[in-house]
Structure 1
Amino acid sequence: MTTYQTLAVAPAPADGTAVSDRPRRASASGTDPDEACLHYEQVWGGRGFRAEAVDDAFTYRCSSVDDGRVTLLTSTFGGRLHGEVPWPDRYAVGWFREGAGSVDHRRGGHRSRASDPFPLPTELPYELRLSPHVQHVVQVEPGFLEETARERHGGPAQLVVLDGSATPAPEAVQGWRRALAAVTGPLVEMGTSPLLRAEAQLVLVHAILDLFPWSVSDVPATVRSVGPGRLRDAVDFVHEHAHEPITPSDVAAAAGLHPRTLQQSMSRQLGASPAAYVRQVRLDRVHAELLRAAPREVHVADVATRWGFGNLGRFSASYARRFGEQPRETLRR
């Protein structure tokens, strides 16, 4: 039997304060593995979850506090858990007090390392395997994390890709744990003022961005809003392989589409052919690199050539059309 409980919901403030000021507590517990799977499918946004009890005394408990921007989740699970998460739409970092787990996806995957934190994929389907465990997870609303990351990369809000293959530096893990200890109280307490809650949310997101190497991927909003599908597969392939000599046929094959079908779909949804979209993504990479570069140490021609632009005149014209300035102006910023 499973027990569900909504512990508390703060009343909506009269001044129209954002939903992030109204944390919601919930918990579920029980002894039935099948009911546990149904609950965890809801928690993870998953499907096909299967549980395997390791002894006759199977129990589980899952509790969370959600303020709309940040969710703190704790799971105690007395068995093995396996399932698929077809479209994770929030940023998430997990770690184990007991047990272990693994995440596998088309870009690779990673295994938990003792109690070290690890990122879960965002907007990338993955397979999840967990041993009997006590696990903590922090989930962050995507718009909030992406707007916060803008302060660091200087561009528009974009999909942030946290590198789960990298081992966090010990000092970064220590900083993460200090930040978590400092913000947990303000985030879980119902009486926290909106200003203190907002500050705690920012501290936690900056700790995530300090914890893992990350990059941004300018996946068009029209494609992100649709979710998984062949077009999204094509767009992701371009972003993942833009540094390689890929062709429109390569993109079509990766998405499982006929080249003409891909051409029509990208032209309709993105306003660009596959070849033109590859050039756009490479221009974006040049722009990002020039923004980060030191003017005295980097030459525009070297960056452009590295990203496949051999004709510097045409490159400069394309760059100016896309960004409203010459590449040398970007470099001098």
Structure 2
Amino acid sequence: MTQPLISIIIPSKNGLHHLKDCLPSVKTAMQNSPVLCELVICSDHSTDGTLEFLKENYPDFKAIENPKDAFGACHARNNAVKASSGKYILFLDNDVCLEPDFFIKTVPLLKEDMFCYTCCGHSYSKPEKQLDGLKLLSFSRGTLRFTGNIYNEDLPQKNLIECYGVQGAYFYCTREKFDLLGGISDLYSPYMLEESDFVYRGMKRGWPVYYIRNVKPLHKWGGTIASKTNPLTKFVSIKNRIILNMVNLTDNSLLLQSLILYALRHPIAFFEAVKYLKPILKLRRSEKPHIKVTDKELLKASKETKKRFKSK
């Protein structure tokens, strides 16, 4: 059997309604692809009939389930990657639709030594509205932030432009570098900021991230996880942001700012994060020998990118 070049990875928890809407477009894009693709969907203990639906309607797709002791998108992504074999991995959320020519446009861009590519995402309900652009990195209010965007109207007409983060709903990476980073860290279980940690650790190893300008997957945005106004979601977001900073900030002044601010403003989330101190320190130690770029060097480069394109 021919081995696929690209493995598409979709985690899903009770997202059958999204899969019904979006999988037809993914299948069409795969059929139009100039290279062989496989799709692996990992159900996170769904109770909405996801696995049964997939086996009946998409028998060519690989449908698996998280083990009984594994919960959340972090584990689902890692388990789906283990069940796949492609040289390149495309992570998608279950509420993302692809253009028919998505792979026709992106396959020629894939390179042996690449790390991650992120995409120009648009709104599912308003396809003309751009949601995600070239991602910027900043440090404000005691934390690393990956939420800044430069949109296509302010960018040159070229495809691969270096950026400083990804949108977790649609990004490529190589299996080689995924494995070198140890996959998605389960410190961020069940979800939230796991892709930011993954990409930031890679950038500190000196691996650049690039933005693909000319594709626009359609994202329902917010359909995959609970509403950001949900108190539990907000708590998980704060707790995981503390973990992100504790794992990744090696600049002492930035780390101290982060620890003091979050301990004072969010003491409950802070002490919840501290419960994971042992695995946090283990991950910090494992990354330390590989660091080639400092926090402040990445922040400076992102700031210069923003100035270069925004000043036009």
Same fold (TM over 0.5): no
The structure with higher relative contact order (CA 8 Å, sep 6+) is: 2
More strand by share: 1
> Normalised by the size of structure 2, how large is the TM-score?
0.28
> Normalised by the size of structure 1, how large is the TM-score?
0.27
Structure exhibiting the larger radius of gyration computed from Cα positions: 1
